[in-house]
Amino acid sequence: MRRLTIIIALALTVAGCGRKAPVTDTKGEPRKKPTSIKEIPYMLEGDYTPETGIPYKVIIDDDTCFVVVESIDDEQLHGYYYQLNGNSNIVERKEFSYDKHWKEKRQEALVYQYKPEDYNSLADGRYKDEIYSVVERKDIEYGQALGYWTSMPGTDTLSYLEILSDGFGNGIIKETTSLTMDIYMPDNNDRARPMVLMLHGGAYYVGDKSDQAIVGWCRHLAALGYVAVSINYRLGFLPTKGEVTRAGYAALQDAHAAMRYMVERRVEYGIDTNLLFVGGASAGGITALNLAFMRDSDRPSVVYSKRWRDMGTIASSGNSSKAHFHIKAVINMWGAMSELKLLKNSNTDIVSFHGDKDDIVPYNSGYPFNDVGSRVTKKLFDKMYGSMQINKYNRELGRRSILYTFPGEGHSLHHYSDGSWNQHNFELIRDGMSEFLYGEIVSNAAIIVNEPANSRHYTLTGDVQQVAWQVTGGFINAMNGNDIWIVWCSDAEEHTLKATGRYSNGVGFEVTHKPNLEPKET
């Protein structure tokens, strides 16, 4: 009976006895002194007759209610209310009705019109959805270097021995060759965009920057908001182990030159040099890993020993740029490393894609091109450590490392074994790399967390700012920045909490939380 009396008094107060009062604390209890906490419902002042159909937050002593007046005149006051009970996060709907004497029984209270701030989602889709048109710049020269050739496209369906025979048959002569790249950019005006350098495969002998898969991934990344770059690099070698190693080193030098070129032109292309990524498939994956982790002290001896022409340091070839850079993460597609200890050289994350039946580049460890024969491969190649070992060791080093294993599948996952296109795997890899890179850009994503000790209290965690909240099926009792206190209406059909804002890097987000409500009392 006392509760009913209080609620009627609250309703009477709403009907015309609002007064200026200090704002409440985060529990919704009256305060005798002002506080700096912003009260979301707007406070009413002076003699006020409430509007029908809209909620009011009313506080008398230690009681807090949300009241809705459905009809009001000189003869009758009718509506319903939700009263906070104890620490429960659920409020029950109760009806009230009072006769013509209601004006005589007003009571002083804190009265607020419940009017949450407007909610406009700030999620902008950057780096998650293809929201941009793609601008392409083709055949841009990023340097020159002495080599055999930089392009041999159209060899996807040939065996490795056929490729080598074709190359040797055409003769091998070194000459100064142009190193070129294709750049794919979003049609936005962002001046701090992440960049991904992509490297095609082909065993350092064949391939081209126009590779179908590489171009497809570059266009996808550009549509997400990245600057994506596909490069041609030096290819070709004589059939000796030393020449194969030198070919891989030349590819590394060219990739390094391409990255320096882009970093030096970061203003022109709107690149955030804190968000530099490199990816590649097969030999391109090997080169991408070397670009991130190999240092001059790790160079194989065949690139500088007296028996061979000194190829110089990693950064001494291709162009004269002196730009420095750090690779934040690597997209390793069926690549490998000759030494796992190189992973210690850089605090760089890795996402890997590899078939566990790959007999071209080992998934675990071994010699490349097992399909050719172990006697041949041991003469031409060093033992390598594949994606499984790379992922395991990088995780042991405390880095973010993810491995997508394709059970029962072999090399070049975007092709079937007969060489035809595998759209399903292409999209799996595309989406996997996109999700991984988003995690690199937004390393501390927004999450709504409900405090275990206080079921009304929710906190938005993460590197967030400009936070706004939206509650469906409940009332905001109080709010302070990333913290919000909510009670949920037992009769609501939907209960949803949303938060939107921007991360510190300006990327917009929206997250949704479905509350785990306490069981209804019987």
Distance separating alpha carbons of residues 197 and 70, to the nearest angstrom: 63
The count of residues in the chain is: 522
> For residues 380, 381, 382 and 385, what is the CA-based torsion angle, rounded to 10 degrees?
-170
Domain 134-441 has CATH 3.40.50.1820: yes
Task: Scan for tokens 């937004």, then name that residue.
Answer: 442
Strand partners, 66: 57, 82
Distance separating alpha carbons of residues 336 and 413, to the nearest angstrom: 15
Distance separating alpha carbons of residues 318 and 260, to the nearest angstrom: 10
Angle at which helices 283-293 and 241-264 cross, to 10°: 60
Look at residues 85, 92, 72 and name the one whose alpha carbon lies nearest to residue 14: 72
Start-end of H helices in 87-240: 160-169, 212-224
Compute φ and ψ for 112, nearest 5 degrees: -130, 135
Look at residues 130, 320, 150 and name the one whose alpha carbon lies nearest to residue 231: 150
Look at residues 6, 1, 19 and name the one whose alpha carbon lies nearest to residue 83: 6
Amino acid letter, 171: G
Task: State pLDDT tens for residues 400-436.
Answer: 999 999 999 999 999 998 889 999 999 999 999 999 9
What's residue 96's pLDDT?
81
Distance separating alpha carbons of residues 409 and 401, to the nearest angstrom: 21
Task: State pLDDT tens for residues 462-504.
Answer: 999 889 999 999 999 988 889 999 999 999 999 999 999 999 9
Look at residues 167, 153, 144, 283 and name the one whose alpha carbon lies nearest to residue 209: 153
What's residue 97's pLDDT?
80
Q: List the structure tokens of 27.
A: 């529990």
Strand partners, 509: 501
Taking 70 as the pLDDT cut, the residues of the chain under it are 1-49, 61-62, 74, 99-109, 154-172, 371-380, 518-522
Residue 326 is given by DSSP the state: -
Task: State pLDDT tens for residues 442-453.
Answer: 999 999 999 999
Contact indicator for 145, 96 with CB cutoff of 8 Å: no
Angle at which helices 423-441 and 212-224 cross, to 10°: 40
Look at residues 133, 153, 242 and name the one whose alpha carbon lies nearest to residue 202: 153
Distance separating alpha carbons of residues 171 and 436, to the nearest angstrom: 42
Distance separating alpha carbons of residues 20 and 45, to the nearest angstrom: 5
Task: Scan for tokens 């009670």, then name that residue.
Answer: 487
Distance separating alpha carbons of residues 472 and 249, to the nearest angstrom: 59
Contact indicator for 334, 412 with CB cutoff of 8 Å: yes
Distance separating alpha carbons of residues 397 and 364, to the nearest angstrom: 18
Report the relative pairing of strands 193-199 and 134-147 from DSSP bridges: unpaired
Amino acid letter, 408: G
Residue 277, CB half-sphere, CA atoms under 13 Å: how many?
Answer: 28
Contact indicator for 436, 328 with CB cutoff of 8 Å: no
Look at residues 403, 272, 383 and name the one whose alpha carbon lies nearest to residue 330: 403
What element of type H or E holds 502? strand 496-503
**Under DSSP, is residue 334 helix (H, G, I), strand (E, B) or coil?**
coil
Q: List the structure tokens of 348.
A: 């760089």
Q: What is the pTM of this model?
A: 0.84
Q: List the structure tokens of 491.
A: 């009769």
What's residue 191's pLDDT?
83
Q: Where are the domains of the chain?
A: 2-113, 134-441, 447-513
